């Protein structure tokens, strides 16, 4: 039995690797405390980032859902891409950055965990509804496991629902489901551990926000110390799919494996684990459903550079190894 890793990382290290968007999490305080101790001047921060393609007022946009928790604060953030709409219209205000709304989750009982925020997205109204009053946070999960919803409404259509409270979301918003489901195009999770790193993720190329998908258990085991050559295994649902020996020669690589009889590309870069000699070092793993595209093939991006469809989905796992 492996010991499940915690979904946390030192916040300073995360920021150095583009972690300004990182979000959500619920890890226990003791795990966060150990992460902080492993890196001076850093506090532990747990995070997940999920990026969806949805239509707002008929225009495709990227919507990013971020969950975040450290020892002091907990929050979730919704960001709406504005760059593509400006490009499509040939004008705009000149502000191509995302439009963002952050909700701080307060610990005291009299704070309401239910709310509504209306945003102006390049002249289009977007309503964000949320209800976290019954949300269940697990120690090993980077976001609520259930009992909640976050719903985005545009033109009286619910374009995206996060969580398992879809019926409550439709009832509260008094809006109909969108005829076109939002599509999950990427997910990023940060975890830390010493030898074992575990996460759950969708590995289905047709995964979308409007359907119930199956999560797969991913476990990465590493053996880097001692007299033996360093090695690493990657298992999915208890089956070893990748086993790399002489890892100091094969610290970067990729393989295509079968998960539920469907191909999944696995890419890894564990250079820093082996060669940096730092008390905290990062490795990156990518899990992408499907077979590799041929050189020169269509990259799947649509007009104005918007990510195309569910076939673009990838899961990025940032594994932070602590001594």
> d(Cα 80, Cα 11) in Å, to the nearest integer?
23
- 196-202, strands of its sheet edge to edge: 196-202, 215-223, 231-236, 239-244
Contact 19, 205 (CB under 8 A): no
Question: Tell me, what DSSP letter sits at residue 57?
Answer: T
**What is the predicted pLDDT for the residue at 269?**
97
Which run of H or of E encompasses 15? helix 11-16
Global pTM reads 0.75
Q: Which residues pair with 104 in a beta bridge?
A: 75
Nearest residue to 202 (alpha-carbon basis) of 190, 189, 188, 216: 216
Q: Token pair of 36, please?
A: 């902080």
Strands 314-322 and 183-193: parallel
Q: Residue 206: is it exposed, middle or buried by C-beta count within 10 angstroms (0-12/13-18/19+)? A: middle
pLDDT in tens, the chain (323 residues): 545 455 454 443 433 333 333 333 333 333 333 333 344 334 446 788 999 999 998 889 999 999 987 777 888 999 999 754 444 444 444 456 889 999 988 777 767 789 999 999 988 899 999 999 999 887 666 688 899 999 999 999 999 999 999 999 999 999 999 988 899 999 999 887 889 998 888 897 654 444 456 789 999 999 987 778 899 999 999 999 999 999 999 999 999 999 999 999 999 999 999 998 888 899 999 999 998 877 555 554 443 334 445 567 899 999 988 87
């Amino acid at each position: 039995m492996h010991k499940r890793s915690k979904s946390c990382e030192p916040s300073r290290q995360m920021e150095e690797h583009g972690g300004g968007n990182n979000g959500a999490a619920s890890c226990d305080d003791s795990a966060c405390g150990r992460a902080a101790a492993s890196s001076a001047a850093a506090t532990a921060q747990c995070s997940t980032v999920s990026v969806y393609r949805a239509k707002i007022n008929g225009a495709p946009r990227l919507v990013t859902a971020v969950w975040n928790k450290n020892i002091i604060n907990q929050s979730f953030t919704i960001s709406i891409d504005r760059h593509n709409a400006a490009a499509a219209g040939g004008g705009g205000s000149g502000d191509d950055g995302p439009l963002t709304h952050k909700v701080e989750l307060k610990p005291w009982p009299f704070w309401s965990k239910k709310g509504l925020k209306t945003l102006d997205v390049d002249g289009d109204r977007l309503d964000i509804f949320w209800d976290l009053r019954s949300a269940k946070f697990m120690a090993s999960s980077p976001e609520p496991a259930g009992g909640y919803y976050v719903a985005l409404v545009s033109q009286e259509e619910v374009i995206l629902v996060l969580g398992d409270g879809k019926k409550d979301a439709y009832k509260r918003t008094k809006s109909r489901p969108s005829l076109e489901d939002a599509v999950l195009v990427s997910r990023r999770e940060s975890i830390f551990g010493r030898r074992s790193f575990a996460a759950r993720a969708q590995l289905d190329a047709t995964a979308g926000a409007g359907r119930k998908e199956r999560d797969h258990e991913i476990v990465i085991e590493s053996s880097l110390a001692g007299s033996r050559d360093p090695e690493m295994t990657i298992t999915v649902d208890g089956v070893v799919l990748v086993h790399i020996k002489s890892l100091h020669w094969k610290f970067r690589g990729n393989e295509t494996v079968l998960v539920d009889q469907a191909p999944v590309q696995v890419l890894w870069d564990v250079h820093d684990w082996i060669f940096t000699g730092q008390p905290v070092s990062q490795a990156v793993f990518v899990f992408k459903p499907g077979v590799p595209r041929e050189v020169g093939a269509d990259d799947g991006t649509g007009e104005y550079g918007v990510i195309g469809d569910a076939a673009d989905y990838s899961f990025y796992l940032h594994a932070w190894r602590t001594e």
